[in-house]
Amino acid sequence: MTTADLRIPRDLYTALKTHVTQAQESAGYLLCGMIEDGERVVLLGREWWPVRPRYRLISSHGMAWHPNFDVAMLNRAQNEKLGCVLVHHHSGGSPQLSPTDRETCESLLPFLSSEAPDRPHAFVVMGDRAAAGRVYRAGQLVASLGDTAVVGSAIDRWPPATLGLTGLRASRVGVVSNCGGGFLTAQLVRSVSEAACVTVLAENFPSREALRALRECDVIVACLDRFQARDDLNRFCKRYLIPLIDLGIEVALSHDSVPMTASIPGRISKVQPDGPCLRCQGVVDDARLEHERGGRALGQLENPRLPDPAIITLNGVVVSIATTEVLQVLTGFAGGESPNCGWIYDGVTGVVERVEKRFRGCSVCVKERGVGDA
């Protein structure tokens, strides 16, 4: 292993930062899922466990805690197939491990990584939008911490990227599509920034090739006809902490003797690592999946019933909104003004409305978020 990056949902980072930056020195364990691909590892923040007051010890060398807390965290990590990342805070923009940090790291991390050798563990010092750390596996130091990304309505990269083409240059956008909207989205993203890497997958999701390609992406756009594919991609993006933008539009006809356009509902739904998923938002549910399968078992859907194609000009409206949201995720140009669930478009009136919903976390969010390859 040569590099190890860290990716954290915004809400989890906020909770972590609140604990480790308080007046009394504090620390805790960030339990992480992971992406492993050859020499590269990405640690995915899933649970934050601050050191509880009952475990704290009095020490002349700064904060200390009872080893029972380490054992408790190791047991939980092993049960959940996660890695242990010990985190605390140093003020400033260029944090480094202090001599006390190095002593703690060199005594604790070999123990943790020897007891759970099948996954990496780390010691991380966070500063002001910067982090440093060491990563161990099977009792050995194998890497230093590389890049850190806090992911919410936008990707906050450490060290910070520059707004504009410089910030987009290393960005990877995945487009999963079985219709024209996906290819139009890819063209628009490329037209905005030729520097961004855009991968279009027209094959069925989830294939092995699609999984490997998409888990490396910074943001994914879905233009799909099937609810089952949407549900699978929704779970995938929660699992790997990747923002998802799912769009669709249809033309509904009236049942009069002379059919007329009754409505043209369009939707640009966002799934943030720290926000409601497609199931939370009511876009996908078990009843829709059952109806789509026509009573057949999961995995037996060979000829899905697809809706009628939408008109290209109407597709263009929702695709333009989706492309703008891709830029928001990658650059954060809208700050905190972007809605957490996306937009609803009325193709008849031309009205676009914001959609926001409090994030409570459905069973899919709880089960999948940040587990990575486990």
Look at the block and give the residue holding tokens 């037996």: 300
Which residues in the chain land under pLDDT 70? 1, 160-169, 179-180, 195, 203-204, 257-259, 295-312
- Render the burial of 215-240: b for 16+ CB within 10 Å, e for the rest: bbbbbbbbbbbbbbbbbbbbbbbbbb
Q: What angle, 0 to 180 degrees and rounded to 10, lies between the N-to-C axes of helices 180-192 and 312-331?
A: 50
As a whole number of Å, the end-to-end CA separation of the chain is 18
List domains and CATH numbers for the chain.
Answer: 3-151 (3.40.140.10), 160-368 (3.40.50.720)
Nearest to 234 by CA among 61, 62, 363: 363
Q: Enumerate the β-bridge partners of residue 372.
A: 34
Closest Cα partner for 374 from 26, 39, 88, 116?
Answer: 116
Which token pair is 169? 């240059």
- Contact between 116 and 78 under an 8 Å Cβ cutoff? The reply is yes
User: Could you give the CA distance from residue 273 to residue 265 in angstroms, rounded to a whole number?
Assistant: 26
Q: Could you give the C-alpha distances from 245 to 131, 177, 305, in angstroms and in order?
A: 29, 12, 23
Structure tokens that stand for 75 in this block: 């047991």
Query: What pLDDT, on a 0 to 100 scale, did the predictor assign at position 160?
Result: 64
The predicted pLDDT at position 300 comes to 45
Task: Give the whole-angstrom CA distance, residue 65 versus residue 76.
Answer: 18
Cα torsion angle, 351, 188, 6, 236, sign: positive
pLDDT at residue 10, as a whole number: 96
> Rounded to an integer, what distance in angstroms lies between the CA atom of residue 273 and that of residue 126?
21
H or E segment to which residue 228 belongs: helix 227-240
Cα separation, 26 vs 156, whole angstroms:
24
pTM of the complete model: 0.90
Name the pairing type of β-strands 265-271 and 244-249. antiparallel
Model pLDDT for residues 186-237, shown as the tens digit of each residue: 888 888 777 678 888 876 677 888 888 899 899 999 988 889 999 999 999 9
CA distance 226 to 224: 6
Residue 115 is encoded by which pair of tokens?
């007891």
